Structure 1
Amino acid sequence: MKVNIDRLMKDIERYSEFGKTTDGGVTRPSFSHADIELRKMFIDELKKLGLSVTIDGAANIWGKRKGVGNNLGSIVIGSHLDSVPNGGWYDGALGVLMAKEIMRTLTENDVFLDHDIEIVSFTAEESNEFNLSTFGSRSFVGCLSADKIRGVHNSKGKWLSEELEKVGGGLGEFPKMKELRKKIKAFIELHIEQGQRLEDKNISMAIVDQVAGIYRSNVKVIGESNHSGTTMMDKRKDALTAAAEMILEIEHLCKECMNGVVGTVGRLDVYPNATNIIPGEINFNFEVRGCTEELIKNRVNKIQEKFNDIANKRKIELKQEVFLDQKPVDLDKDILSILQSAAVEMDEPYTILPSMAVHDAAHMASITKSSMVFVKSIGGKSHCPEELSLHSDIEKSGNLILQGLIKLDNALTKQTI
């Protein structure tokens, strides 16, 4: 029993039409017109597969195929259908559509598992106008309450609560998610790797054992604005050159750790931002991601030491505010072992990797056994129209989840895990 890769790829191409950009990418943020229209089609397709469809308070879409066991609970497979601006076809959508393909494969082969099998499409996994990424999964597991998001709106004045109601969710339905999550026994998410580690190893797929932690801080560098022509070099307190030195230190200190940690400055604001004025203030955000708390803490401490050295040397002032300190998440070892066993039986090479990006599976790990499978990304491209995974690699990863699902169902029924 194998997934139908040709049918799956037609689905992926068909879904890419919703929010398609002129250069072949996809712009489909949650609650956009493209997202709303795709939701309608997706729900209709789930119903045609004979699944019972539920939309929870966070507007996550669930499709259930009943098992033959006596109310044993659900094994869930899925991901998300929203995209970044001008993103690719595969990020998120592959995981949802592979879940749908696995449902079709089970039905066509008249295979019923003991547990209910559910497909989920989580709302607003990507960064969005409401500044609440992984919104659907965080809401579902209880990290985001109705009270926390009641006053949330975007820059256009749209209220998140109203947008949820437009797509079948609503803050009034949030309490019901507590009961829904009690029935979930396991979760598996398929995702493109979004990196080049699998390509470097020439391996189609990986089983993910953990999701990296993220530390983010806003740094304000305060110097002194002055005339760019009349202020001699030895009299300057240039905030931008100080910030530039700090940013290079982040790169240098994270490179020292090779593959264990990454550091990035992705946002920089310059004041007053004029050609003939020495910059007097810089605001930048920096993040460090790593697979252990100790590794993150070590790098952050060294970065802070260098920041202070630079500030003292250049006679500038520093102000900092940490706005995210998310710990690494270990994914379920039992499901990892089951997926390893399935890969060996399939005679397919695999490796074990940590995810350096945060996915819905990381939040689901707080309420149930949670796991991920990565499929090789060509060139490591993601969040762009060039995003690509090969049919053969996708097929192998899908069959791994299909066979792993059957083994997982059996193990949960026998309560061997």
Structure 2
Amino acid sequence: MTTDFQKDSLVFAQKCFDDVRAMSKDTTGVSRQGYSPVETKVLEYFKKIGVELNLEISTDKAGNVWMTVPGKNRELPALVSGSHADSVPQGGNYDGLAGIVAALTVARWMRETGYQPERDYTVLMMRMEESSWFGKCYVGSLGMTGQLTEKDLALKHRSNGKTLAETIKECGFNPEDLTTGEPVVDLAKMAAFIELHIEQGPTLDSSEEYRVGIVTGIRGNLRHKTIRCIGQTAHSGAVDKQFRHDAVLAFAELAYRMDCLWDEWLKAGHDLVFTIGVVHTAPTSAIAIVPGEVTFCSDIRSLSQETLDGFHALFEEEARKIGEKRGVKFEFDGMIKSQPLAIHKELSEHLAKSATEAGLKVKKLPSGAGHDTVIFGNLGIPAAMIFVANQKGSHNPNEAMEITDFIQGAEALWHAVKAFPVGGIR
């Protein structure tokens, strides 16, 4: 059944997606680096819409943009919804952007119908959630909540060598404001945070019945950008096997061993995913050389911090054993951590209940990817997520979210906002 909300909002939402795609189009897909002129252009585009809707607009010291529909009782903390404006390099158009457009679509519907919420309703557009450019995720929300560090700001861009601090400064903000340990906004004024996002896996898209999901938990992760396996370079024809310290074979054995252990942990009931995403031999590698060095990255994810820590410890122990066996050494760089989040149960149930009562079918499922929601939830702010089906995966240029699926998700958000309890959710 197509509702008035869906009929009235579809063209608006589609135009937002098309306009932003055009302004951030790359040779393949879209590229919206956090704290870049392109990301700023996207935010200015939405701020212009906010002005047209007569929203109250402000920008915090981390560069995040807040656009508010004033409520009847302005003493109450605001209900906040939104997501991030950036993308991965040459990625899809909907990762992050869907959450901004959904939140703004709800604000527009309020204005179109003359609806005034009981409390302020705020659209939040955040900077730099993706880690692809600097190796640090959630920069906008961490900066806002006072959780960035000097070490974070010293991270360098993947290609141009600029530090994160330099990049933020070039964008017009003072990076020193973001490492004081204190939030740059009053977090007590947030009653709850709801983030709509495309599902970045196939669960919803494989279902004919469910196109909208309610997230039950968000996996945390432990990552290493660079792990080095250091062996000994040698002549491939002159050195027999017993004298070799082959870095490639040592790496391959470690990768296979971890894959086997992953199976064992899954059979034992652990929620766990393990990925080695990038592998390189040394620049001097050649067909006639026994490889003396391999570098690779790792990504461990789970809904359980105990599982994360346990599997990582096992990873290091297996690397040590294989290193001793093959006469090589594995060197791990600094770990990048993101805590898992148990989604706020009462808020999640509110999302499911309000959507179901509005005639929308929703499926409960976990999130394998991290989101800004984690930052708010781990600070004690009620936080939850809505997923919409998305075709052809994510973090690639082929994201193919159907606008009809999106509009159902946006309507689920609208009903959750409309039915949000006057007394809030604890």
- Tell me, in whole angstroms, the C-alpha distance in 2 between the residues paired with 1:305 and 1:179: 43
Among residues 181, 187, 198, which one is paired with 1:181 in the alignment? 187
The CA distance in 1 between the partners of 2:107 and 2:198, in whole Å, is: 20
Distance 1:104 1:300 in 2: 46
- Identify the residue that residue 2 of structure 1 maps to in structure 2: 5
- State the match for 2:124 in structure 1: 120
Aligned residue for 1:200, secondary structure, equals coil
1:101-116 mapped onto 2 (5 Å cutoff): 101-116=105-120
Is residue 241 from structure 1 mapped to residue 249 from structure 2 by the alignment? yes
Deviation at 1:148, TM superposition (A): 5.3
State the SS of the aligned residue for 1:266. coil
Query: In the alignment, which residue of structure 1 is the partner of 2:205?
Result: 199
CA distance in 2, matches of 1:76, 1:167: 25
Report the TM-score when normalising by structure 1.
0.90
1:157: how far off? 5.5
The answer on 1:372 being equivalent to 2:385 is yes
Q: Give the aligned residue type for 1:376.
A: A
Q: CA deviation at 1:277?
A: 1.6
In structure 2, the residue corresponding to 1:199 is in which secondary structure?
coil
Residues 350-373 of structure 1 show CA distances to partners (whole Å, capped at 9, x for unaligned) of 222221111111111133111111
Structure 2: runs of 5 or more not aligned: none
Q: Could you tell me whether the CA contact under 8 Å between 1:251 and 1:264 is conserved in 2?
A: no
Rounded Cα–Cα distance in structure 2 between residues aligned with 1:86 and 1:225: 36
Structure 2 counterpart SS, 1:101: helix
CA deviation vs aligned residue, 1:222-256 (integer Å, no higher than 9, x gap): 32221111112232221111101111222333244
Code of the aligned partner of 2:26? T
* Bigger Cα displacement from structure 2, 119-128 vs 290-299: 290-299
Q: 2:34: which partner in 1?
A: 30
70, 77, 82: which one pairs with 2:81?
A: 77
Query: 1:158 and 1:312, CA in 2 relative to 1: closer, same or farther beyond 3 A?
Result: closer
Counterpart in 1 of 2:54?
Answer: 50
Size of the aligned set, in residue pairs, is 411
Partner residue, 1:252: 260
CA distance in 2, matches of 1:128, 1:344: 37
Alpha-carbon displacement from aligned partner over 1:74-110 (angstroms, at most 9, x marks no partner): 1111101111111111111111011111100011111
Partner amino acid for 2:214? I
Task: Map Cα deviations across residues 172-214 of structure 1 (whole Å, 9 max, x no partner).
Answer: 6547844432211111111111101222344211111211121
Deviation at 1:130, TM superposition (A): 3.6
For each residue in 1:149-172, what CA deviation from the matched residue of structure 2 results, as whole angstroms up to 9, or x when unmatched?
665554645454454355453346
1:188 corresponds to which letter in structure 2?
I
Unpaired runs of 5+ residues, structure 1, are none
Query: Per the alignment, do residues 406 and 245 of structure 1 end up closer, same or farther by CA in structure 2, a change over 3 Å counting?
Result: same
- Counterparts in 2 of 1:179 and 1:298: CA distance versus 1, 3 Å: closer
Mark the CA change 1:239 to 1:173 in structure 2 (over 3 Å): closer, same or farther. closer
Give the fraction of aligned pairs with identical amino acids, expressed as a percent.
27
Alpha-carbon separation, structure 2, partners of 1:5 and 1:241: 54
For residues 276-330 of structure 1, give each alpha carbon's deviation from its aligned partner in whole angstroms, at most 9, with x where no partner exists: 2211222322221111123334433444454344334323333334512433111
Contact 2:145 2:185 in 1 (8 A): no
CA distance in 2, matches of 1:16, 1:180: 33
- The answer to whether residue 366 in structure 2 is matched with residue 354 in structure 1 is yes
User: One-letter code of the match for 1:373?
Assistant: I
2:25 is the counterpart of 1:12: no
